[in-house]
Amino acid sequence: MAWPGALVVAVALAACNDVDNAAFDSAYQSRNSAEVTVRATVTMLLPDAPAGAEGAHQRFDVTVDGTTVEIDHNLSLAPRVPVVAGQTVVIHGQFEPDPGHPVIHYTHHATGSHEGGWIQLNGSTYE
């Protein structure tokens, strides 16, 4: 019977995607960088950042527990996420508490120098 093994895999994958907005809130309040996994609402689409040394980045704003955060998603390392304002997304990446301009980046697959991140939208994962 193969399904018990499939159930174990599904549970393990779900555990990797645990949303923890409280950890984000703590990092934001203490102004500490942190790996975060948050559920957020897309509030505004921003122009892509031009390709520089790190490649072009898709940018959009989300709110996490009332805090506006910019998402910088590297298009050289991950596919564009087809987000629109009002949608709910789950994001895993590196939070940087830049005063007045908090950001989550590294929302792409692991590069060897940093843990991999991702964005989930409507059941699809973009990494």
Please report, for the domain that includes residue 45, its CATH number. Answer: 2.40.50.140
Would you say residue 5 lies in a domain? Answer: no
Would you say residue 88 lies in a domain? Answer: yes
Q: Give the per-residue pLDDT at 119.
A: 97
Q: Give the per-residue pLDDT at 98.
A: 87
Q: What is the 3-state secondary structure (H, E, C) of 13-79?
A: HHHHCCCCHHHHHHHHHHCCCEEEEEEEEEEEEEEEECCCCCCCEEEEEEEECCEEEEEEEECCCCC
Task: Give me the domain span that covers residue 51.
Answer: 19-126
Please tell me the distance from the alpha carbon of residue 56 to that of residue 103, in angstroms, as a whole number.
Answer: 16
> Is the pTM of the predicted complex or chain greater than 0.85?
no
Cβ 90 vs Cβ 17: under 8 Å: yes
Would you say residue 8 lies in a domain? Answer: no
Pairing of strands 34-49, 88-96: antiparallel
Q: Give the per-residue pLDDT at 88.
A: 97
Would you say residue 13 lies in a domain? Answer: no
What does the pLDDT look like over 30-62, one tens digit per residue? Answer: 999 999 999 999 999 999 988 776 778 999 999
If one compares 5 and 100, the residue with the highest pLDDT of the two is: 100
Would you say residue 11 lies in a domain? Answer: no
Would you say residue 2 lies in a domain? Answer: no
- Portion of the chain with pLDDT greater than 70, in percent: 86
Would you say residue 12 lies in a domain? Answer: no
- How many domains are contained in the chain? 1
Amino acid 17 reads: N
